[in-house]
Structure 1
Amino acid sequence: MTQEKRPMKVLLAAPRGFCAGVDRAIQIVEQAITKFGTPVYVRHEIVHNRHVVERLERIGAIFVDELDEAPVDRPVVFSAHGVPKSVPEEARRREMIYIDATCPLVSKVHVEAQRHHAAGMEIVLIGHAGHPEVVGTLGQLPEGAITLVETVGDAEKFEPKDPARIAFATQTTLSVDDTAEIVAVLQRRFPGIAAPHKEDICYATTNRQAAVKTMAEPCDVVLVIGSETSSNSKRLVEVALRAGARKAVLVEDASAVDWSLLETAQTVGVTAGASAPEQLVEDLIAAIGARYDTAVEELRVTDENVVFKLPRLVA
């Protein structure tokens, strides 16, 4: 006689998973392989997800850390996170075919930083040191033109050259609430600080965090599918805990779940970062269903219909 499964309510956040920038970046690599044949080289992980990277490797992509690891006679794609200006300059110098898969919303931050710099402004960038997106944004301008601020404490200590001529920008994948706290400090200290025309934190990050906030409070555990290197995925864990979830953990996929976390749980929340394929969500729901008598309810805060065009070279 089979043992009866214990009931488990599963709350599924929506939107979740791939955003338009990630979708575009993956399509760029796929289209480059179709157009130019294999191999196509990609500088850095195209997006921060091992499953995506491994699938693209299987169809002919080779991932490298730096441009000099790619031969000059094969195309190279730059990742969705953006690159310092020196990278396309080097590609042109080496006469390489290169395709820039930088998310258009990251490119918007680059353009605004350049515009402020051209106007003689000092720029504060709110972000995480060492993240590829931050490295790319810092690399748009001469060294020293942008000051990186990571915390409220950094914002309190920041001393500009001229308090009347400063502007701020942000990484696109930050915690909306944490960033608001940092911006509040900067605006209190420097009332004239120039803000982005439109918020830099991207629509996908904002929507995924809003969905988790809606879902978290009744959850005993929230499982966030995403990679350890994914900034927006890690922020979802923090947002879930802040919004009232008893526990929240980042998992690469269903195989990485510590099932002991669910032993006493009655309600589990599931979401996925912007670079995590929907298949991983489906696999996780199936894995929960194999262990429990699940009732799945989707909590949708908004619909997303953003689509970004592909670059001409692969369109």
Structure 2
Amino acid sequence: MSPSIEEVVLAEPRGFCAGVDRAIEIVERALAKFGAPIYVRHEIVHNTYVVDDLKAKGAIFIEDLADVPPGATLVFSAHGVSQAVRREAKERGFSIFDATCPLVTKVHVEVAKLHREGYEFIMIGHKGHPEVEGTMGQLSEGIHLVEDVADVADVQVRQTEKLAVVTQTTLSVDDAAEILAAVKRRFPLVREQKQQDICYATQNRQDAVKLLAPKVDILIVVGSPTSSNSNRLRELAERLGTEAYMVDGPSDLKPQWFEGKRQVGLTAGASAPNILVEQVIERLRALGAVSVRHMPGVVETIEFPLPKGLKLG
């Protein structure tokens, strides 16, 4: 059976968020102003295309600050860094530009403030993710990671009167709510943030998939394997009963996925550039897609300011 695609339906919103836009622009402006190489701690955002493009322009991505020569320009990735990394970078004398997403910085600021007031923390997030390492690394102790409901039962805190919960910004909204409910059952006095930590872009893209997935036969998510928010979109569609695949680009699409599929949904994680979406659409047209339709959705207008010292001209 050959693909029988009639229509591609595009989720709205999809693709780059304000924090990703800002992070990429910081690296590009640093390259334009100071010249190559510009060193970046960790992938600036979790997307292969973006990282390869910046490498070609002169960015060098490192994990260990010992790999950065003295006096070099260093950019912290959008995911944020620990206090230990900040101290080491300062001690090594780098010229530093911080591309941490302002919504991640907001979590860091809240952790520091409440820590001064004597709070301990439970963090809901994925172990090993750079954002989680950065947030937990704001403190030397007193912050406990839970990845799922089962982990909540194992948390050992020193006291329960001053306990706060924070969240990785790119989690599944539904999963985070389920884990938070378990935290509140075990620790009824736990302090929640006034505004949830999961970012607006993660929420909006998941809401769009909730609307789109039941209306299509298959959903394609454009995003790299390391992208947390992209993975959550694929998982969400599958949970809603829709066959879903995540692709880094058009070459990952397999014709057999589309056999007997008339309606194809298409979205992209917050770190995936629109050029990849366009390339995937072209590949779907080559597989027989007749039309492309935009689903109505939230229009995002948020912009974040750049750090001082990066104005051009």
TM-score category of the 2 structures, normalised to the smaller one: over 0.9
Note the residue ranges of structure 2 that are not aligned, 5 or more in a row.
none
Superimposed CA distance per residue, residues 167-203 of structure 1 (whole angstroms, 9 cap, x where no aligned partner): 0000000000000001111112222210112110000
Superimposed CA distance per residue, residues 225-248 of structure 1 (whole angstroms, 9 cap, x where no aligned partner): 101000000000011112231x11
Sequence identity percentage: 50
Q: Secondary structure of the equivalent of 1:42?
A: strand
Aligned to 1:54: 52
Q: Which amino acid aligns with 1:58?
A: A
RMSD: 1.4
Aligned to 2:21: 23
- The CA distance in 2 between the partners of 1:68 and 1:208, in whole Å, is 37
Q: Which of residues 272, 277, 282 in structure 1 aligns to 2:278?
A: 282
Q: Which of residues 178, 181, 187 in structure 1 aligns to 2:178?
A: 181
Task: Name the TM-score, length of structure 2 as normaliser.
Answer: 0.96
Q: Which amino acid aligns with 2:234?
A: V
Instruction: Map 1:286-297 onto structure 2 (within 5 A).
Output: 286-297=282-293
- The CA distance in 2 between the partners of 1:267 and 1:310, in whole Å, is 40
Q: Which of residues 183, 191, 194 in structure 2 aligns to 1:194?
A: 191
How far did residue 114 of structure 1 move?
1.0
Aligned to 1:230: 227
How far did residue 103 of structure 1 move?
0.3
1:220 aligns with 2:217: yes
Is 1:218–1:244's contact at 8 Å kept on the other side of the alignment? no
- The CA distance in 1 between the partners of 2:240 and 2:301, in whole Å, is 26
Note the residue ranges of structure 1 that are not aligned, 5 or more in a row.
none
- The CA distance in 1 between the partners of 2:119 and 2:173, in whole Å, is 25
- The CA distance in 1 between the partners of 2:127 and 2:154, in whole Å, is 17
- The CA distance in 2 between the partners of 1:188 and 1:92, in whole Å, is 42
1:210 aligns with 2:204: no
Superimposed CA distance per residue, residues 97-149 of structure 1 (whole angstroms, 9 cap, x where no aligned partner): 0111000000011111111211111100000000000000111111x310001
- The CA distance in 2 between the partners of 1:7 and 1:19, in whole Å, is 29
- The CA distance in 1 between the partners of 2:193 and 2:5, in whole Å, is 47
Q: Which amino acid aligns with 1:218?
A: K
Number of residues paired by the alignment?
Answer: 310
Is 1:214–1:299's contact at 8 Å kept on the other side of the alignment? no
- The CA distance in 2 between the partners of 1:300 and 1:69, in whole Å, is 47
- The CA distance in 1 between the partners of 2:3 and 2:16, in whole Å, is 32
